[in-house]
Structure 1
Amino acid sequence: MKTCSITCVVGWAAFWTFGALALTSDPAQTAQLMLASLLAVGGFMLGISSYLKISREVC
């Protein structure tokens, strides 16, 4: 349970951090924009999957 909670926090932190970088990056630098977007999507998937796993175990 503790590992899943840490994974959830790390996933959401990655989502918000890289999402903000994707939104504030220069549109001319497409490589930086795409990398930040892909990392934000990865963080979202990790955060939501671990959150759902935690919510199923507690209830």
Structure 2
Amino acid sequence: MSQRQVPCPCCGKLSPWSSDNPWRPFCSERCKQIDLGLWAAEQYRVAGSPVDPLADDGSDHRA
């Protein structure tokens, strides 16, 4: 039985989908870091309603 291959979300190169691939689903640490950088730069967004960061919702967020 051959090992399942999936396209890397960053570059599209086929990479193994197994516990032997430490960067799964990416093909390499480089692609994983590029993807993390895009999240950090807010290039990706999770869908949702807009939120006003200055609005007071009445909750206390202090620990």
TM-score by length of 1: 0.27
Question: Structure 1 or 2: larger strand share?
Answer: 2
Largest Rg, 1 or 2: 2
Higher relative contact order (CA 8 A, sep 6+): 1
Question: Structure 1 or 2: larger helix share?
Answer: 1
